[in-house]
Amino acid sequence: MMTLKKNSKIYCYSALWKLCLLPFAYCLLLIASCKVGKEYQRPTLELPKQFDNTSFSDTSSIADIEWKNFFTDKTLLELIQKGITYNHDLLIAMKRIDISQEQLKRAKLLQFPELNSQITAQYTYPSKNSLNGISTNSFLGKSHIENYLTTINLSWEADIWGKLRSQKEATLAEYVQTYEAGKAVQTQVVANIAQGYFNLLMLDRQLEIAKGNLSLSDSFFIATKLLKDAGLATSAAVEQASSQKLSIALLIPQLEQNIAIQENALQVLTGQLPGSVNRNALLNEISFTQDLSAGVPASIVSRRPDVRSNEMALVAANAQVGIAQANMYPALTISAGTGLETFKASNWFNIPNSVFGLVAGSVAEPIFKRRELRTQYEIAKLQREQAVIQFKQSVLQAIGEVSDALVQVNKLKEQEQIAISQVDTLHKAVFSTRLLFRSDLANYLEVITAQENALQAELNLASLRRQQLSSVVELYRALGGGWK
């Protein structure tokens, strides 16, 4: 009967204890379901339905083409591959990604408890005249104190307000931001290498044109000199012919200088020592076989790496607002520890007599911190607004760059056709004036003027051809191509 009453009493106490814990557990569950801060939503963007200077709106884009398939010149592909492998700006960006990846690994474990261990051996010899010394001698019967301690401590912060989840979200966004920034660096490196290579081919072509015109001017100079010797031309004609020849001759070392500088720039861009670049291609042989489709403006947000990077910065800034807000609310920390403690080394590992344990819970609520937490929260909100503006600005800038590139692609084609006709016309003019000069129906100034105009037109045609190729590369980069 006594046993039954005792068991009933224990059962009642247990039931009462559980009943008291129910409201507390419910409150913890309710609080834990609360998460401060707002979920990220992409800001409203005002985008045109299609790009200007396009006859149709197609979802496909040349940005989806890998750079290995977009460019066809073998030498250019080799240069780009070297740039991606050895370019120092790109290598630095890759290291930033590695650093961010390590931070992401740490953030994934934020919601796990901390576990620490410690082993301590302490020997204290207090003064015999001190209170500690008198107490030690009285109670322990010796003049010193020994203490041997082995502990394992567990500490866990309950993610009541979603602070730890927001920290993980912010770290993940920062990792993606760094990754997208690395892709943006690669698109720029690919574009710079391609434009530098096309500029080099243009200089090669202009050097070829200059040498051809120098030969033509030399023949005119010799012919003028012979006519002077025959009494059919003046000394002024010979001097003008010589001056024209020297002007073209001066152009050759200038072009050779620019070629060497461009070669050095390309080598440095690919992470190599300055030097010459072996090449066999001609400027007029370079072409793009793909249809230069720009896609729809809305796709810029997802295709262009620098825009994606700015959006990830906004996601991180939004998460930081949640972190700053959660810092103003109570933080629940639960800790537990166990270990072995003794005053004698011989009893250190005497189990269970040396075993101790502890469990503690604490709720920390910031009350007065001179408005520090509120200020951090307000700053975080302002930084989020700043990130919104930067994101919208990057989208607007991207749309503008694509629109500019489309204008250049279309208008440079028209200019090239006109320039080709101009060169053909001036070549005919040079041939006609030279025949008329030999027949004494045109003076030497007309011949020199025709040759100078033809030279300038040919140089301009080569420059337009390079600009046209560069505009296609710029369109490719502006759309977000070159990182695949």
CATH of the domain at 152: 2.20.200.10
**Which domain-ending residue is among 341, 364, 387?**
364
Please indicate, yes or no, whether residues 256 and 123 belong to a single structural domain of this protein: no
Domain contains 11? no
Please indicate, yes or no, whether residues 391 and 433 belong to a single structural domain of this protein: yes
Please indicate, yes or no, whether residues 43 and 151 belong to a single structural domain of this protein: no
Domain contains 464? yes
Q: Looking at this protein, which amino acid is placed at residue 98?
A: D
Please indicate, yes or no, whether residues 386 and 457 belong to a single structural domain of this protein: yes
Judge contact between 444 and 241, C-beta under 8 A.
yes
Domain contains 484? no
Please indicate, yes or no, whether residues 395 and 444 belong to a single structural domain of this protein: yes
* Predicted pLDDT at 343: 81
* Predicted pLDDT at 53: 63
* Predicted pLDDT at 290: 64
If one counts the domains in the chain, the total is 2
Please indicate, yes or no, whether residues 145 and 242 belong to a single structural domain of this protein: no
Give me 87's structure tokens.
């370019």
Cβ within 8 Å of residue 382, ≥6 positions away? none
* Predicted pLDDT at 57: 55
Please indicate, yes or no, whether residues 124 and 267 belong to a single structural domain of this protein: no
Please indicate, yes or no, whether residues 171 and 313 belong to a single structural domain of this protein: yes
**Which domain-ending residue is among 345, 364, 383?**
364
* Predicted pLDDT at 3: 41
How far apart CA 471 and CA 458 sit, in angstroms, is 20
How far apart CA 17 and CA 230 sit, in angstroms, is 129
Domain contains 380? yes
Judge contact between 351 and 302, C-beta under 8 A.
no
Please indicate, yes or no, whether residues 91 and 134 belong to a single structural domain of this protein: no
Domain contains 1? no
* Predicted pLDDT at 386: 96
Given a cut of 50, the residues of the chain with pLDDT beneath it are 1-30, 32
* Predicted pLDDT at 58: 63
Please indicate, yes or no, whether residues 105 and 118 belong to a single structural domain of this protein: no
Domain contains 44? yes
Please indicate, yes or no, whether residues 143 and 47 belong to a single structural domain of this protein: no
* Predicted pLDDT at 17: 37
**Which domain-ending residue is among 364, 383, 406?**
364
Q: Looking at this protein, which amino acid is placed at residue 397?
A: Q
Q: Which domain holds residue 54?
A: 30-111+160-330+371-478
Please indicate, yes or no, whether residues 151 and 167 belong to a single structural domain of this protein: no
Domain contains 402? yes
* Predicted pLDDT at 184: 94
Domain contains 6? no
CATH number at residue 390: 1.20.1600.10
Q: What is the pTM (predicted TM-score) of this model?
A: 0.83
* Predicted pLDDT at 191: 96
